[in-house]
Each structure stands twice: as structure tokens, then as C-alpha cells.
Amino acid sequence: MVLAVPVTVPYARHSTKPAQWWAARALKALADGAGMSHRDFDGLSVSSFSLAPDSTVGLTQHFGLSPRYIEFLPLGGVSGVAALRRAARAVQAGDAGVVACIGADGNAPQSFRRSLENFSRASQDAVYPYGAGGPNVSFALIAQAFMADTGLTRADIGRLAVAQRANAGLNPEALLRAPLTLDAYLGARPIAPPIHLFDCVMPCAGAEGFLVMREEAAKAQGLPFVRLAGSIERYNAFPEDPVMLRGGWARDVDVLWSQAGMGPQDMDLVQTYDDYPFVSAMQFADLGFCARGDLKDFLAARDFTVAGDLPHNTSGGQLSVGQAGCAGGFIGLVEAIRQLTGVAGARQVAEAKRALVSGFGMIVFDRGLSSAAVVLEAA
Amino acid sequence: MTRKKSNPLLRTRRPLLPPGARSRSAHLLTAAAARGDFVLPCCAGCGRFLWPMAEGCPACLSEVGVKAAPQGARVISATTAEVPAAPYFRERAPWRVGLVQMEAGPQAVVHLHPAAQAGDKVVLRLVLDRAGQAVLNAGPEGGEMSDPQWQAMVADPRDRRVLITDARHVCALPLAQGLAKAGAVTIHCGLPEAWKPFPGRAALQAVPGVRIVPLDVISDRSVADAATDMAGRVEIVVNTADLPRPGGLLGPVAQVEARAMAETVQMGLLRLARAFGPALAGRGADGDKGGVAWVNVLSVFARAHPPGWAGYAAAHAAALALSHALRADLAAGGVRLVTVLTGPTEDGWFQTVDPPKVTARALADAILKALTNGLEEVAVGDVAKDLLARLEENPKAVERELAQGGLTG
């Protein structure tokens, strides 16, 4: 199974357009990029938090498709990997030939707050009424425990945010491109300590997408593609942990690397789910790049910029490009396809052959419930 | 007695509420918090405690109810919401929030006392927040009164001004004394029919802060005059207006007395609510010591109706119904409506009722405790508690038992 045609509909901080509009733009970009009519996509997978009252089924008529496979995956940070895994199985089983996978969300000035109020029942009953801090407060409680456990300081974690901002400087479509120094990171306004301003993503509107098909189909269409080498997905991995010091990757990491026949040392670039940089640090440990106890040294030793020895979130990631709802679950995947097909422009990582992309999300109560990861290989 | 004078040049802050949406099942916690009970969701099958409220136990998928639980917990981590999303918290930021490991088993996000740090032992309380919804509050043992977040949820009389609507009520004197001791600045005590002798006047006037004012809840004019004088300057209203008259439906003066009781208890509440309610609700966020509570002192006969107290029970049942409407109206300002259901008091009019009866002091103490602990439903005395428990168990049995002579009038 292969992935092709990475598309990003340039993000906007706020938009008057609904998720349906963003999904339509992504679908058009996929059709244009593939040199096909969108009517020839016989699979459609959509991830969105703000598509209500629609789901994917309504979009088929709206967009004039007649697919034989559809999927609606409003799974936040694992949307992209989950869409890929399901689409690949559908293509493998013959249920679809070409699946368009799209993550799209709108963002009006007050829509983020409204989505917080309605994010989950557990949040409505038992989180949001406690200070209404949204994910910042929930992740602050996790970050504090994680930093106490690992000995990481804000300065250690800040290296990731600073490197991503440097990468974003090479991405004309990133919403936040002004250079960020470690001092500026450390001196930023507290939001919910230890979370400060530059630990937070900026909610925005946008869409991402890619196509999943057989290798022969991509070749027949003349499309550059990347191969799916391995993938994992897990929900509520460690229900007995009193506080989230690890994600579900820790449970499935061996499966991932053995499927791929590779290891962390083979990765030319890594795209983690960066809703907060400390969560990226957690992924490095859980996905086998270093032991959790060694994170401090690992973060100090590696260069995470595009030109560095471990390019990470090379587009700038959500921290610098913006978090467009469920598209945030696609951003790393789409960027990895771009990098491995050599179309990343100024931020192209040299000799990029293999990439790890991880997803994470859905803090419905006190921890992120979803974890996923995928290893991709250039053709 | 340190109530700050408000600056008339400044805008009165309009009341906002914390997020109030809850699942239906979560209101099992609201009911417990309203009474001041500490319960947690608990699996009916395997007995493990859960948090938050669930529709199925994650261990065995059995149904989930609530059960009394140990209140101890340890703080896992703590933070302050410096930039909350909801306007209510934004204007009160920084707001302290913690993640705790409960002794009962689960973890929970809680409102956290300012002194509590990661690793500390804390005591959990279920309390109603300003939206009237149950929330978990955590702090050191006995530390709640020093917690500004706790203070924002309860109805502490300290530095507030109170109106007791009927100074002739048996509990008026001990209540005024208790309020004064709790730090209330001014205690207005309404005196109906001032031309009648009032033997308790001297004792009441001896209480610091007490001000005896004319107020007769059966008079539109009197209530309107009192509201003009005081409505914008009281933060707690305790409605004690009552007219206990025993007798069944068929007695010679039943109709006259029922009308009189309705005029005092039901219509009196209506008049007070219309005159004082809007100002109280509108001042729900008027500084840290704004409008905070309305207490209706009602008879438990509002819920269980002995035939020998037909008119009295009807008047109180009507007042209870009105008080639910008033609760909804006051809730818009974050002002709590407290329903105190008392058993028969030590009072001449309940002469024929068997003991145990409620002393004036016990009733006053219950009202004060309701205010300082932020309660919403209070039953006072063994008779009231017993009647309510029996009602919950089997209302038809209560009806039959009362018909056979329980609590004769």
C-alpha cells in the first residue's frame, strides 16, 4: 500500500468558512494533484470536529462522489494514522481502489471555546467546570508529573519548540514564523504552569489530505509515492497508570519496529504529534529513541532542525504552523510524504528515505487516550 | 465587621457562572452535594469507586450508582489556570486546579486549595459551585475557610448583610446570634404587626448588628417599602415567615385559617421573591461579598402532608413549589436557594405533636451550617429526616401512616 499526493490547504487563524469548505478545497487539491477526477475516488475518509451535522456520508452527495468505501474518523491527533490504516486495509481487501483521506476543520473566533465545552462527556462533567482551562490545564497536570518523573526542565523541552520554529521559517505557509529563542520560550507568559505560551498550539482553520492506493495504481497514474512499512494504533493503553507518564506507543513499539524491519536509528526524520512539546519528548522515549530516564541527554544532544541529525516536525508542526482541528492529526503524515517524495522545497531534508510519524490525542478526561504511529519508506 | 463600602462610580460586576452542563447521571452527585454528603460513583456489581460518573463500570460493565466514600486523597500534580477559556474563571484567574489520587481508588481533577502542593494529603468535599453543580474541592483537613475558591462557592455570612423576614419566628433570635457570631455585618429582622407586643425585642436588639424593621409579608405595601429600603443592601435573605395552625380539612375554621396560612407562607414568599429576588440575583457578583443565598425555612409537611395539618401542609407545599421557581431565577445570578425543611418546632402551635421536636437553636444552627457549607437541601430534626427517608422508600406507606394518626394536629 502506498501514500501519494500530499496536500495542505493553507491554514488561516480564523475563517468564515465551515469545515465542509475546507474539505472541498482539500478534495479538489487531491484530484488536481492526482490528475484524476474526484469522481474517480471510490473511497472517502474524512476527519473533522466541526463537520456537524454532517458526517462523511453527507459529503458524498455534497461533493458529487459515489464511493463504495467511506469512513468518518473525528479522532483528533490519531486521525491521520487511523485514516491511513483503515484505507490501506480497504484497498488491500479490494473494497476501494483510491481512497481520499482528508482532515479538515474550520475555526471562527469563538469556536475553540465552544468545542471545549462539548469535547467529551467526561470533560463536561469532570474537567471543564474546574477552571475551564481546556487542554492547557489538563496537560499542565500531566506535564508537571512527567517533568518530575524524568527530571526534564522547561529549558530541555523548549529545545523542541525552538527547533520547530526554525523549521517553520522555511515553510511559507506556517502561521507562526517569527524566530523563537530559548530565552523567549522560557520567558513566555504562563498559561497553566509548567505550560507557557510557546508550549501551546494556535487553533486555526485548515485542511490536509493524501491518497491511499496500490503501488501499481500510483505508478499507472505517474504519481510519486511512499510505502507504508509498519503501523500501530492503541486506545486507553494504560488505564491503571494514575497519571500519564507514557503513551500507548510504549505498549506497541516493538510491533511497530518489527513490522517495519527497521529501528529508530534508521529514521531520517520524525514527525511527532506536538500538541505540546513535552508530549513530543514523551513520544521519543516511548517510540524507542531513548530511555525515558535519558530524555534530558537525548534532547540536549540532538539537533531537531531540518539540517540537523534528527529532523523533527520539519514543517514547523502544529506548534508553528497551527492546529487545524483534526487536520492536526494529518499534518505530520502529509509532511512526511512530502519529504520522502522530495517535494518539501526549502525545508527538504537531504537524503530523506525513511520517516516515523506518530499521532496522539483525545484527552477526554485526564490523559490522551489515543496513540498511533506509522513508518514510511520512500519508493 | 469589615464590609468595604462599594464605590458608586464603579460598574457593578454582572454575574457570570462557571460551566454548568452535566450529564443526567452526574446529577446524582448534585443531589449529594446539595445535602453536603460525600459520595462517589460506585459500581453496583464489583463495588469499585469510579470517577467521573459512568454508565457502565470499566471493570465489569455493571450499572453505576453513587455511594458514600472515603474523602482522603493525595495530590498528584497541581497547576493554576492563568488564562481560562470561560469568562467566569477568566475574571477570577489564576484559578488553582489539581489532579488527585483518591483513597477510594480513582483519580480526579479538583478545585485545589492554594496551600496544597504535589504529594500533599488533602480532604475532598463535594460542593455546589456557583452554577449549582457538584464539584470536588480539595484542601488540607479543616482548611476550607481559608480557601478563596471554596469561599466563592459557599454562602458564608461573614461580612455580609442578612434579612430575617420574620423576627417573631421561634428561630429568629438564635439565628441572629449565630449570624452575628459568624461575622454578618447587619442583620435586618422584619417585624410584622409591630403594634402587637413583641416579647423578644430586647434580646434581639442586644445582638450586634441587628436592626428591627417593619415588614409584614401579607402586605404588598409593607414588602414593597422594605424592598425599597433594603433590597439592594442585603446579600442573604432568610425567609422565616410562618403561621402554624393545626387542623384538618373539615374543621369549623379550616377555610379561614388555610387562607391565612396561604397568605403568609405561600403568597408571602411570592411577594418577597418578587420584591427582593431581582436585586439579590443581580448582585450575585457584586464584589467578593455579593448576593449569595436565599433560605426558605419551611415545614417538612411541605413534602409529607398529615391530614391533621391540611391547610398548613398545603401552604408549605405551595411555598416549596414557588421556591423551586425562585431557585431557577436566582440561579442566573449564581445565588443559591436553600430549602430548610424542619420538623415541628418547640413552639406552642405544635403542642399536640409528640416529641422529638426541633429546638430553636437546632434550627438556627442548621441554617448557619447550610450557609457556611454551601448546602441547598437541609432536613432539620429527627421527624423531618424520618419522614423524608420514608417518603423516598415508599410514599404510599407514608400517606397511609399519616392518615392513621401520625403527627396529629
SS3 (DSSP) at B75: strand
Query: Cell numbers of B231, please?
Result: 433590597
pLDDT in tens, A37-66: 999 999 999 999 999 999 999 999 999 999
Chain A contact present for B81, CB below 8 A: yes
Chain A residue numbers with beta carbons less than 8 Å from the beta carbon of B20 are 129
Report d(CA A280, CA A162) in Å as an integer: 13
SS3 (DSSP) at A295: helix
**A75 with A329: CB under 8 angstroms?**
yes
**Is the ipTM of this structure higher than 0.90?**
yes
State the pLDDT at residue B187. Answer: 98
| Cross-chain CB nearest to A133 (options B53, B81, B131) | B81
Q: How many CB atoms lie within 10 A of CB B264?
A: 21
Q: Quick one: B346 and B284 in the same domain? A: yes
Chain B residue numbers with beta carbons less than 8 Å from the beta carbon of A126 are 26, 51-53, 108-109
Pairing outcome for strands B121-128 and A98-105: unpaired
Q: Which residue ranges in chain A fall short of pLDDT 50?
A: none
CA closest to A239 among chain B residues: B58
**Contact state of B81 with A190 under an 8 Å Cβ cutoff:** no
CA closest to A140 among chain B residues: B79
Mean pLDDT to the nearest integer, B117-134? 97
**Contact state of B81 with A132 under an 8 Å Cβ cutoff:** yes
Q: How many CB atoms lie within 10 A of CB A173?
A: 15
Alpha helices, H only, A187-276:
215-221, 249-260
Mean pLDDT to the nearest integer, B278-307? 95
Report d(CA A204, CA A83) in Å as an integer: 21
Sign for the CA dihedral angle at A135, A137, A138, A144 comes to: positive
Confidence band, pLDDT 50/70/90 cuts, at residue B408: low
% of chain A exceeding 90 in pLDDT:
96
Q: Which CATH architecture has domain A121-202+228-378?
A: 3-Layer(aba) Sandwich (3.40)
% of chain B exceeding 70 in pLDDT:
99
pLDDT at B409 over 60: no
Indicate whether B245 belongs to any domain.
yes
Confidence band, pLDDT 50/70/90 cuts, at residue B10: confident
Q: Quick one: B187 and B104 in the same domain? A: no
Which of 149-188 (A) contact B at CB < 8 A? Answer: none
State the pLDDT at residue B9. Answer: 87
**A77 with A359: CB under 8 angstroms?**
yes
Mean pLDDT to the nearest integer, B292-296? 98
**Contact state of B99 with A243 under an 8 Å Cβ cutoff:** yes
| Cross-chain CB nearest to A121 (options B23, B118, B136) | B23
Query: If you search the block for the grid coordinates 457562572, which residue do you land on?
Result: B17
What type of residue sits at position A202?
A: M
Among A111, A112, A123, A125, the strongest candidate for a mutation testing the B interface, having the largest count of B CBs within 10 A, is A125
pLDDT in tens, B327-376: 999 999 999 999 999 999 998 899 888 889 999 999 999 999 999 999 99
Q: Quick one: B145 and B166 in the same domain? A: no
Q: Quick one: B332 and B241 in the same domain? A: yes
| Cross-chain CB nearest to A125 (options B22, B78, B95) | B22
Q: Quick one: B176 and B104 in the same domain? A: no
Chain B contact present for A133, CB below 8 A: yes
Q: Quick one: B261 and B146 in the same domain? A: no
Cis peptide before B356 (omega within 30 of 0): yes
pLDDT at B193 over 90: yes
Q: How many CB atoms lie within 10 A of CB A83?
A: 30
Report d(CA B111, CA B128) in Å as an integer: 12
Chain A contact present for B24, CB below 8 A: no
pLDDT at B1 over 60: no
Indicate whether B22 belongs to any domain.
no
Q: Quick one: B138 and B77 in the same domain? A: yes
Chain A residue numbers with beta carbons less than 8 Å from the beta carbon of B26 are 125-126
Phi, psi of A228 (to 5 degrees): -85, 115
Chain A contact present for B16, CB below 8 A: no
| Cross-chain CB nearest to A242 (options B76, B133, B136) | B76
DSSP character for A83?
Answer: H
CA A275-A99-A104 angle, to 5 degrees, is 35
Which of 100-119 (A) contact B at CB < 8 A? Answer: 112-113, 116-117
pLDDT greater at residue A263 or residue B404: A263
**Contact state of B82 with A189 under an 8 Å Cβ cutoff:** yes
Domain boundaries, position B136: 27-151
**Contact state of A130 with B110 under an 8 Å Cβ cutoff:** yes
Total domains in the fold of chain B: 2
**Contact state of B23 with A124 under an 8 Å Cβ cutoff:** yes
**Contact state of B107 with A122 under an 8 Å Cβ cutoff:** no
Q: Quick one: B199 and B300 in the same domain? A: yes
pLDDT in tens, A275-311: 999 999 999 999 999 999 999 999 999 999 999 999 9
**Contact state of A136 with B81 under an 8 Å Cβ cutoff:** yes
Confidence band, pLDDT 50/70/90 cuts, at residue B144: confident
Where among B151, B169, B186 does a domain terminate? B151
Kindly state the helix (H) or strand (E) to which residue A48 belongs, with its residue range: none
Query: If you search the block for the grid coordinates 437546632, which residue do you land on?
Result: B362
CB contacts < 8 A (A, B): 127
Where among B151, B172, B189 does a domain terminate? B151
State the pLDDT at residue B140. Answer: 94
Q: Quick one: B88 and B188 in the same domain? A: no
Distance from CA of B93 to the nearest CA of A (A): 8
Q: Quick one: B289 and B145 in the same domain? A: no
Distance from CA of A250 to the nearest CA of B (A): 22
Q: Quick one: B223 and B351 in the same domain? A: yes
Distance from CA of B48 to the nearest CA of A (A): 14
Where among B89, B119, B151 does a domain terminate? B151
State the pLDDT at residue A368. Answer: 95
Indicate whether B10 belongs to any domain.
no
Report d(CA A27, CA B253) in Å as an integer: 82
Cis peptide before B52 (omega within 30 of 0): yes
SS3 (DSSP) at A139: helix
Query: If you search the block for the grid coordinates 530516564, which residue do you land on?
Result: A293
**A1 with A178: CB under 8 angstroms?**
no
Chain A contact present for B391, CB below 8 A: no
What type of residue sits at position A179?
A: P
**Contact state of A116 with B85 under an 8 Å Cβ cutoff:** yes
Query: Cell numbers of B263, please?
Result: 397568605
Report d(CA B57, CA B153) in Å as an integer: 31
Report d(CA A348, CA A339) in Å as an integer: 6
Alpha carbon distance, N-terminus to C-terminus of chain A: 11
**Contact state of A133 with B96 under an 8 Å Cβ cutoff:** no
CATH topology identical between A2-109+205-224 and A121-202+228-378: yes
**Contact state of B23 with A365 under an 8 Å Cβ cutoff:** no
Indicate whether B5 belongs to any domain.
no
**Contact state of B80 with A189 under an 8 Å Cβ cutoff:** no
State the pLDDT at residue B407. Answer: 72
| The 3-state secondary structure of chain A, one letter per residue | CEEEEEEEEEEECCCCCCHHHHHHHHHHHHHHHHCCCHHHCCEEEEECCCCCCCCHHHHHHHHCCCCCEEEECCCHHHHHHHHHHHHHHHHHHCCCCEEEEEEEECCCCCHHHHHHHCCCHHHHHHCCCCCCCCHHHHHHHHHHHHHHHHCCCHHHHHHHHHHHHHHHCCCCCCCCCCCCCHHHHHCCCEEECCEEHHHCCCECEEEEEEEEECHHHHHHHCCCEEEEEEEEEEECCCCCCCCCCCCCHHHHHHHHHHHHCCCHHHCCEEECCCCCHHHHHHHHHHCCCCCHHHHHHHHHHCCCCCCCCCCECCCCHHHHHCECHHHHHCHHHHHHHHHHCCCCHHHCCCCCCEEEEEEEEEECCCCEEEEEEEEEEEC
Indicate whether B14 belongs to any domain.
no
| Cross-chain CB nearest to A144 (options B79, B90, B129) | B79
pLDDT in tens, B70-91: 999 999 999 999 999 999 999 9
Distance from CA of B7 to the nearest CA of A (A): 29
State the pLDDT at residue A133. Answer: 87
Report d(CA B61, CA B56) in Å as an integer: 5
State the pLDDT at residue A329. Answer: 97
Between the CA of residue A223 and those of A2, A36, A191, A355, what are the distances in Å? Answer: 10, 11, 45, 19
State the pLDDT at residue B303. Answer: 98
Chain A residue numbers with beta carbons less than 8 Å from the beta carbon of B131 are 129
Mean pLDDT to the nearest integer, B245-264? 96
Beta bridge partners of B316: none
Chain B contact present for A241, CB below 8 A: no
Nearest CA-CA partner of B288 in B183, B149, B80, B138? B149
Chain A contact present for B102, CB below 8 A: no
Domain boundaries, chain A: 2-109+205-224, 121-202+228-378
State the pLDDT at residue B2. Answer: 67
Pairing outcome for strands A225-235 and A368-378: antiparallel
**Contact state of B84 with A133 under an 8 Å Cβ cutoff:** yes
Indicate whether B211 belongs to any domain.
yes
Half-sphere exposure of A140 (CA within 13 A, CB side): 28
Indicate whether B123 belongs to any domain.
yes
Indicate whether B63 belongs to any domain.
yes
CATH number at residue B192: 3.40.50.720
Chain B residue numbers with beta carbons less than 8 Å from the beta carbon of A366 are 99, 107-109
Burial readout A188-226 (b: 16 or more C-beta within 10 A, e: otherwise): bebbbbbbbbbbbbbbbbbbbbbbbbbeebbeebebbbb
Q: Quick one: B137 and B205 in the same domain? A: no
CATH T-level topology, domain A2-109+205-224: Peroxisomal Thiolase; Chain A, domain 1 (3.40.47)
Confidence band, pLDDT 50/70/90 cuts, at residue B5: confident
pLDDT in tens, B49-59: 999 999 999 99
**Contact state of B18 with A112 under an 8 Å Cβ cutoff:** no
Chain A residue numbers with beta carbons less than 8 Å from the beta carbon of B52 are 121-122, 125-126, 365
Distance from CA of A107 to the nearest CA of B (A): 15
CA closest to B93 among chain A residues: A131
**A299 with A160: CB under 8 angstroms?**
yes
